Structure 1
Amino acid sequence: MKREDAMDYRLDDSLVLAAGTGKAVRMRAGQRLKLTNPFGTQAIDFWAFTQADIYEFTSMDNFRSVHSTVHVTSDTPLVSTKRRPLVSIVEDTSSGRHDTLLCACNADIYRQLGVTGYHRSCADNLHKGLAELGIRFPVTPAPANFFMCVDVRADGSLDRLLPASKPGSYLVLQAEADIIMAFSCCPQDITPINGEDRTPRDCLIDIFSPAGSA
């Protein structure tokens, strides 16, 4: 975090978001989470669910309606199914625009790509992460895709671009309510969404609380 902000927050926890895996963490309103991309190439699928009502969660269709954009930036908080802000980006050293259009990779996508047998997916990673907190959810909501570069061409088609963030790029996310943040370090190793070498890589998570909070 910025030096002036770091004085106001204390580090509570640090963990590795291992390549191809997922994690869900409980966050209180006002806490911040720093998500670091050591190689700059790793796509991270992201969701948030309110702790009071698991069926209020980050909604990409409501996000696009509220903000009239397809990209998440530091100016566009992620909103819920009830159209209220759940997560804000308070600092971003990445390319600065994050995708809301592509679905989480899933078993059917890998099957269409020619995979036989089991392949890790962002959809599975979400549900495994929630299960570690004792939560079952019946569907896979559309994610925000951090560090993923997708543009809309003039004819309306999508342009899947190579990652554009520098090594060590990071986001600082602020919880605007008591929520669960869920992450998937995308396991895609067939298309170049995680870079030309098609190699998923570890990312890092640091969780901070306001200084003086309980």
Structure 2
Amino acid sequence: MKAETTLHDILIPARHARAIRMKRGQEVTITDVAGGQVGDVFAFAADDITEYHSASHTRTGISRLFPHVGEQFLTNKRRPILALVADTSPSGTHDMLIAACDAQRYAELGHPGHRSCAANLQAALSGAGLEMPSVPQPINVFMRIPADTAGDLSWLPADTKAGDHIIFKALMDCVLVVSACPQDLTDINNGTPTELHLSVNQGQ
């Protein structure tokens, strides 16, 4: 069997983000390095970043809150942009309801100037020579925000252990941004943000 060639191998520091360009068919593995860390994932069409992964269009297409392995994530133009290939997280629970943390969120929590996933996204895109005027709903990998029968949400700590990972396949040429969420004022990162690791290979 031919060994896979790693095209990108990136350690994302706690509280920061990185952007990568992916070709159709390539796969990205997002690994929780220490365990208990949420990642905000954003995906944009490479030739026009005003087309991006849309949580609402994805939920419409799959009729559930989050895709199962083998299912697709759709853009705001209803085109497939990513597929969920594999997931080793203990509960297989991820979120597409909660907005990226931003400056206003932290100001309301009494911590103005706190790092945020929204700012991380803009900085990562700027570093890639791109600009997006708004912040789309992220794919919040490893984030547990269950809804009960009354529709109330709970903010639970990520239950991943060191080395747990999720794999996405690019279904079009795209720009992927992953933020190691800096939230330390709620329990979602177990109170201490840590690193994420990205590995991109050519795919099957």
Asked if structure 2 preserves the Cα contact closer than 8 Å seen for 1:73 and 1:98, the reply is no
Structure 2 CA distance, aligned partners of 1:86 and 1:32? Answer: 12
- Which residue does 1:150 correspond to in 2? 145
Q: 1:207 aligns with which of 183, 200, 204?
A: 200
Note the residue ranges of structure 2 that are not aligned, 5 or more in a row.
none
TM-score normalised by the chain length of structure 1: 0.90
Structure 2 CA distance, aligned partners of 1:126 and 1:40? Answer: 22
Structure 1 CA distance, aligned partners of 2:58 and 2:11? Answer: 29
Q: 2:94 aligns with which of 98, 115, 130?
A: 98
RMSD value, Cα: 1.5
Q: 1:73 aligns with which of 68, 76, 84?
A: 68
Structure 1 CA distance, aligned partners of 2:58 and 2:100? Answer: 17
Asked if structure 2 preserves the Cα contact closer than 8 Å seen for 1:72 and 1:144, the reply is no
Amino acid at match of 1:109: R
Structure 1 CA distance, aligned partners of 2:3 and 2:51? Answer: 30
Q: How does 1:63-212 map to 2 (within 5 A)?
A: 63-94=58-89, 95-116=91-112, 118-195=113-190, 198-210=191-203
Give the C-alpha shift of residue 78 in structure 1. Answer: 1.2
Structure 2 CA distance, aligned partners of 1:210 and 1:36? Answer: 17
Structure 1 CA distance, aligned partners of 2:114 and 2:80? Answer: 34
Give the C-alpha shift of residue 63 in structure 1. Answer: 1.1
- Which residue does 1:27 correspond to in 2? 22
Structure 1 CA distance, aligned partners of 2:77 and 2:139? Answer: 17
- Which residue does 2:6 correspond to in 1? 11
Asked if structure 2 preserves the Cα contact closer than 8 Å seen for 1:33 and 1:205, the reply is yes
TM-score normalised by the chain length of structure 2: 0.94
Asked if structure 2 preserves the Cα contact closer than 8 Å seen for 1:72 and 1:99, the reply is no
| Structure 1 consecutive aligned stretches of length 4 or more whose deviation exceeds 3 Å | none
Asked if structure 1 preserves the Cα contact closer than 8 Å seen for 2:37 and 2:160, the reply is no
Give the C-alpha shift of residue 39 in structure 1. Answer: 2.1
The percent of aligned pairs where both chains have the same amino acid is 34
Question: How far does the alpha carbon of each residue in 1:60-115 deviate from its partner, in whole angstroms, 9 at most, with x for none?
Answer: 11111111111243243211011121111211101312100000000011011111
